[in-house]
Amino acid sequence: MKRLLRDPLLHFAVLGIGLFVLYRAISGSAGAAPNEIVVDSARVDVLATQFARTRQRAPSEQELQGLVDNYVREEVLYREGLALGLDRDDPVVRNRMRLRVELISDAAAPEVSEQDAQAWLDEHGERYAAPARFDFRQAFFAPARHGERIDADIGDALRRLGAAGDVDDAGLGDATLLPSALHGVTTADVAAQFGDEFAAALGAAPTGRWLGPVRSTYGLHLVRVDAREEGQAVTLADVRNEVERDVRDARARAASEAQYERLRARYSVRIEKPTHGLEDAAALASQTP
């Protein structure tokens, strides 16, 4: 018996059992109820630090709340997936489980009726209409080159062109890699190249005469719209496939959100304040290699 009591394997076994019992006692007393989700301060710290590591800045209060809400959503759907046994044959358990729970409600999506499709098109017709198109010219004036005289120089150029715009515009403005003329472009095309303010001014400009200055992301311009083709509305027959797709997508998003809200109502959620401030999380993230 004494020899057995001195056996190292026995000591190791007893120590292991003791640690297991201690762990169960601690975790059992501190754990949350089965229907409670606890977003503790350590988890909030991790979320804030991960955000700061990615964005190189601390999250705002609103952004941090969004991270916490997303974590709670993931936890709710994860637990529901476990309850349905969706983890038994899936190696990427948590992410796929979340997606599978969200997609359950999509299986029985009803067909899009003619009335539903037409109602959607009536409400969102601008999405499908053929956009307006422009032929226009522009002359660029670089602020760095003209300085305080830029408005005067643009005004002089505009007067030389004349109200009818019959004066030759070759060599007008400053040399630039920007195209001097564009044909058949949409407002979206113009905004992507020159900025929203420039595109809005172009959309409101009359045809056949120069005007300015018009501001872009590069500087100031004189512009002339040579031709405009107004946008055209479409019928349901023209865009039936696109409308049906968008109706189904909207229904799926609404069903998924409604399902989440029903599942979310089963849980009480307790969110602790982070141990570190948001700026501290950013500082910690910047120190991580």
For residue 32, what pLDDT is reported? 57
Question: What's the first-to-final CA gap in the chain, in angstroms?
Answer: 55
pLDDT in tens, 120-168: 988 998 888 888 898 999 999 988 889 888 888 888 888 887 744 455 5
- The residue among 219, 236, 228 whose CA lies nearest residue 186 is 228
* DSSP string across 66-99: HHHHHHHHHHHHHHHHHHTTTTTT-SSHHHHHHH
Rounded to whole angstroms, the Cα distance separating 64 from 47 reads: 8
Q: Is 214:198 a contact under the CB 8 Å cutoff?
A: yes
Domains of the chain by residue range? 31-129+236-289, 130-229
pTM of the prediction?
A: 0.46
For residue 84, what pLDDT is reported? 80
Rounded to whole angstroms, the Cα distance separating 185 from 131 reads: 9
Question: Around Cβ 47, how many Cβ atoms within 10 Å?
Answer: 21
Going by pLDDT thresholds of 50, 70 and 90, the confidence category of residue 14 is: very low
* Residue whose token pair is 């602790």: 272
For residue 96, what pLDDT is reported? 66
DSSP-assigned beta bridge partners for residue 182: 136
- Fold adopted by 130-229: Chitinase A; domain 3 (3.10.50)
- The residue among 59, 44, 63, 56 whose CA lies nearest residue 286 is 56
Three-state DSSP string of 4-28:
HHCCHHHHHHHHHHHHHHHHHHHHH
Tokens of 226: 């040579």
Going by pLDDT thresholds of 50, 70 and 90, the confidence category of residue 4 is: very low
Angle at which helices 278-287 and 41-55 cross, to 10°: 60
Report the C-alpha dihedral over residues 160, 165, 166, 168, rounded to 10 degrees.
60
Q: Is 248:109 a contact under the CB 8 Å cutoff?
A: yes
Higher per-residue pLDDT: 64 or 15: 64
